[in-house]
Every structure is written in C-alpha cells, then in structure tokens.
Amino acid sequence: MKKLLPAISFAGLALVIVPACLYLAGFTDKPQMQTLMLIGTVLWFVSAPLWIGKAERSM
Amino acid sequence: MAENTEYEREPVPAKARLGFRSFVGQYAGEHTAGTELMIGPLFVAAGVSAIDLVMGLLIGNLLAVLSWTLMTAPIATRVRLTLYCQLERITGRKFVVIYNAVNGIAFCFLAGSMITVSATALGVWFEFPMPGLNDLYPNSVGWVIGVLAIGTVVAYVAAAGYRVVAKVANYAAPWMVLVFIAFGLVGLRDFANATGASIGSPGEFWQLAETVIWTGGEPLPGQVKFTFWHVMFFAWFANMAMHVGMSDLSVFRYARKARYGLASATGMYLGHFLAWVAASILFALQLHRDPSNTDVLPGPLAADAVGLVGLLCVIVAGWTTANPTIYRAGLAFQAIVPKASRFKVTFATGLLCAVAGMFPAIAMKLLGFVALYGLILMPMGAVIFCDYWLMKRFGMQPFYAERAGKSVNWAPAIAWIATVAVCLAAVNMGYVGLYFASLPGWFVAAAMYLGLSKFLQRQPSATHGATT
C-alpha cells in the first residue's frame, strides 16, 4: 500500500494532463479527453489524502 | 481546537514551524486560483500584445518573488508575529484597530470575488442567470443561493485553521496546476481548429499568438490599454499587500528559514504566468467565436474547455484561494477583538465575504481593485520595513508605541493616510496610472515615517516611558 497509493495518485495526475496533450496533438477527441480527465481527477482526490498527510507527519 | 495553536499573540515557537514544502503547496494553491480565470481574460480585453504579455509576466513575477524573499520573509522569520501584532507594537493599539478594519474589509472583498468565480461554475450546472461584464448587483435568486452555498463551506474550512488550509491546498494544488495547463492546451487546439492555423512548431504557435490571441490592438470598450509596463507592474503588484505590504508576515512566521520566500515562485510562475496565459487563451477563443460575447465567466469558459473537470477546478481554485484570504481577514478582525474566538471571527468573516461575493462588480473590475487594495495596504509595509531595518541605524526606537506606552503612534498613522491620499490624488489628476502609483508611494511612505518619527521621538514627552 505504501507504494501503491502514490502510484495511483500520480496515475491520476497523468490522466489529467496527458489527454489534454493528446488533444492538442490531434490524437483524441474532446469527449474522450474529458472522460479521461474526470477519471484522473477522481483517482487523485480519492488516493492523495490517504498518503500525503501521512508522509508529512512522518517527516 | 485549542485557541493558542495559531499563535495569534505570540511568536511562533520552533516546534510549530513548517518546512519548505508547506509553502510550495500553499503558494501554488493560492495563486493558481479561480481569479486567474478573471485576470487572464482581462489582459485580452485590455488589448495586450503577445511579447508585452510574456515579457511583462516573466519580469513582474520575478520582482514579486524577490519582494517576498527579500522583504517579507526575513522580517517574518526574525520576529515571528502576525502582521497585526507587529503593527500594534509600532503604531499603537488604537490606530491598528482602524488599519485592521481596512485590511480585513479589503481581504473580504478579495475573497468575495473568489467566491464569485466559484459560483460561476455552479451556474453552469444549475443554469441560473449569471452576471455580465458590466453588472454591479446580483441578478438572480439562483446566483445568490449559489454564492451563499459555496461561501458557507469556504468560511467553515478557513475557520478550522491554517494547518487545515495548508493541507487542503496541498491536495488540490498539483491537480489544479495541471488542469490550468490543460485549459491552455485545449484552448490552443480549439484555436487552431477555429482558424485553420498550424501549431506544429514554436514558430507557428508564436505566429498564432501574435496575430490572433494577443494581437496588441485596441482594448475592448471601457478597458485601459495594457503595455509591457502595465503587465509588469500588475504582475509585480498583484499581491502587493502580501509581500511589500507585509501581510504575509502572518504566513512566513511559520517558516523555518527566510529563503522559503522563494516558494512563492510556484504561485507566481504556475498561477500568475501559466494560468493567466491559459485563461486568456480561452477568453480570446470566446471572442474569436463571438466578438459580441465579452462576458468573463470562468465557469462556462472552463466547462467549454475540459467539461466537468473544468467546473470542479473553478470551484476548488476559488475555494483554495479564498481560504487563506479569509484566514488573513479573520486575523485582521481578531486583532480588533483579541478575546473573541478565532473560529467564530473567521467563520463570520467568511460569511461576510460570501455576501460581498454576491455583488459581481468586484470580480468584473478585478484588475483595478487588486491594484487599489495593494496601494491602500502598501504604506504599512514600508513602515514595518523601515521600523525593523532602519530605525536603530537612524538613532530612533523601533516598536515605538510599545516602548513608549502610546496607544497611537502618529508617525506611521500620518505616513499611511498621507501616502494613500497623495497616491490617489496623483492617480485622479492623471499624473500617474493606478497600476504604477504604488512604487513611488512606497518611498513616500518610508520617507514620511522616518521623518515624522525623527520629529516625534525628539519631543520631550515622547521619551517618557520609553526604554532602549
């Protein structure tokens, strides 16, 4: 879990920005881009609070 | 939460100090904000050119970071008091009550505009009528309810304390930054699709930027024409109250080292560069599609670009910016009534901000309002700077009100009021633009404070009760 949660979070962030890059490059359409960004957003906000706070407390 | 955990009236102890990363998150979150979606479009409305925008933002934001790092943080990490406690020691209890009221009200209006921005996202969801560029008053029941709903949540979180605010900002900041970048990328593709232009290389992008996005032509009716100098000074002084004006003493008193002021670069270059540029692209696209649609509504702009994520971003961005602003306003008001619960004061302040947010006039005139509130709060920053670094060198006593047991120290009081009066008069008479007046104003305030202090501290009665 210690490594899985950050991995999920960063995958979420990637899903926020990569589809926009693909859209800029013309490799995807807008609805698909928006769906992927939404999935990425959910992943980030569900997973990030589970490890970011703990990482700070252990510093 | 125990009342003494926020150290409103005492120096922040070593155990409560925060690391660099806390400030990175705080500044990135605070300055990648819903209001960026207002400011970016207003640059386009002001007819700025591409080169003026890019160079003005690069240099202006650098000056802002240096102001935090070299002016605010060094004093904050040496004294470790809130702005209000420090001012009380310099100006005296009675005067600081007036200053705190002005400061708190200014922050309330600013936070209100952030809540306004978030409410434009709710407007897309619930389809209630939203204000236009020239509206001054709320124009629908749905709008009032939407602003109140968001304002209540924001007020509660701000009241829960600085650490909660920092935590929320830390979670949201990386995501928000990426969504703002996505706004720009999507806007560019949509621009290319709308114009048939190619953006396959930096050269092609720059050509699109110069000829279609930031054309440097005439501003929209009722707007001031922006040049390089306007952009640079606006970027530098957009947060003048916080760096040169020293409001962020209250934030950096928690920093372990003064160099943590550099953390403000995350806010400046992600928020006040990338976010402003991205937002201006979206508005330029809106104007390109329909030149008659000059409404600056962040919710619809964001929704058109990236859908539901855009709407969430507008709400969260407004929220994370309003949080520390309400927190600062709460501190200002609590300094007036120090025995009152900080939670209750901050929560009530947040509700006041929500009421201000119902009136769209502030958000729609944000460029001018930001410059004005920076100008009004700037002179006390000059007073604090001079008091800490120069008073002893010039043979005078710092923290004079405290040392002399005075409830009002007239030197900073007169310096503040006279500087604001002189600057506003110069602006109204057309001698200097609103966006530029704060720079000479700082030197006017500093000179007046030092000169008046020299005079007043020489008075026989002035030395009564003073200690060295």
pLDDT tens profile B255-266: 999 999 999 999
Nearest residue, CB atoms, B175 vs list A16, A24, A30? A16
Higher pLDDT, B292 or B336: B292
Alpha helices in B127-260 (DSSP H): 141-159, 162-195, 202-208, 228-237, 249-252
Size of interface A-B (CB pairs under 8 A): 60
Task: Determine whether the interchain pair B307/A37 forms a contact, defined as Cβ–Cβ distance below 8 Å.
Answer: yes
Name residue, tokens 């991205």: B278
Name residue, tokens 């302040």: B349
Question: Above 70 in pLDDT, residue B163?
Answer: no
Name residue, tokens 């966006």: B435
Both tokens assigned to B299: 């919710």
Which pLDDT value is given to residue B89? Answer: 93
d(CA A15, CA B379): 46
Nearest residue, CB atoms, B189 vs list A23, A52, A53? A23
Give pLDDT tens digits for B77-113. Answer: 999 998 888 989 999 988 888 888 888 888 888 889 8
Of the given ranges (A29-33, B53-57, B137-141), which has the lowest mean pLDDT? Answer: B137-141
Identify the CA nearest to B383 among candidates B442, B303, B334, B465. Answer: B442
Higher pLDDT, B346 or B465: B346
Q: At what angle do helices A30-57 and B308-336 cross, to 10 degrees?
A: 40
For residue A21, the distance in angstroms to the closest alpha carbon of chain B comes to: 7
Residue B259 Cα distances to B68, B70, B75, B77, B263, angstroms: 9, 8, 11, 10, 8
Rounded mean pLDDT of B382-393? 96
What contacts B406, CB < 8 A, 6 or more positions away? B92, B400
Identify the CA nearest to B151 among candidates B368, B455, B359. Answer: B359
Question: Above 50 in pLDDT, residue B468?
Answer: no
Task: Determine whether the interchain pair B309/A41 forms a contact, defined as Cβ–Cβ distance below 8 Å.
Answer: yes
Alpha helices in B92-161 (DSSP H): 93-126, 141-159
Nearest residue, CB atoms, A17 vs list B19, B171, B178? B178
B194 touches chain A (CB under 8 A): no
Residues B326 and B333: beta-carbon distance below 8 Å: no
State the Cα angle at B194 between B192 and B198, rounded to 5°. 25
For residue A1, the distance in angstroms to the closest alpha carbon of chain B comes to: 19
Instruction: Report which DSSP code applies to B432.
Output: S
CA closest to B178 among chain A residues: A17
* Partners of B18 in beta bridges: B255
Rounded mean pLDDT of B270-285? 94
DSSP H or E stretch at residue B320 = helix B308-336
State the Cα angle at B278 between A15 and B129, rounded to 5°. 95
Mean pLDDT, chain B, whole residue set? 89
Rounded mean pLDDT of B418-438? 95
Task: Determine whether the interchain pair B175/A41 forms a contact, defined as Cβ–Cβ distance below 8 Å.
Answer: yes
Which pLDDT value is given to residue B3? Answer: 43
Rounded mean pLDDT of B141-161? 87
d(CA B442, CA B426): 14
Local confidence band at B327 (pLDDT 50, 70, 90 cut-offs) = confident
Percent of chain B whose predicted confidence (pLDDT) is above 70: 95
- The number of residues in chain A equals 59
The number of C-alpha atoms within 13 Å of B297 and in the hemisphere containing its C-beta is 24
Question: Above 90 in pLDDT, residue A54?
Answer: no
Of the given ranges (A41-45, B113-117, B228-232), which has the lowest mean pLDDT? Answer: B113-117
Both tokens assigned to B59: 């240099």
Local confidence band at B114 (pLDDT 50, 70, 90 cut-offs) = confident
B307 touches chain A (CB under 8 A): yes
Provide, as residue numbers in chain B, all residues whose Cβ is less than 8 Å from the Cβ of A37: 179, 182, 306-307, 309
Task: Give the Cβ contact number of residue B363 at 10 Å.
Answer: 29
CA closest to A54 among chain B residues: B167
Provide, as residue numbers in chain B, all residues whose Cβ is less than 8 Å from the Cβ of A56: 21, 170
Local confidence band at B416 (pLDDT 50, 70, 90 cut-offs) = very high
Which pLDDT value is given to residue A45? Answer: 92
d(CA A14, CA B353): 35
Question: Above 90 in pLDDT, residue B54?
Answer: yes
Question: Above 90 in pLDDT, residue B182?
Answer: yes
B180, B185, B208: best mutation site toward chain A, by most A Cβ within 10 Å?
B185
Local confidence band at B438 (pLDDT 50, 70, 90 cut-offs) = very high
B19 touches chain A (CB under 8 A): yes
d(CA B152, CA B349): 10
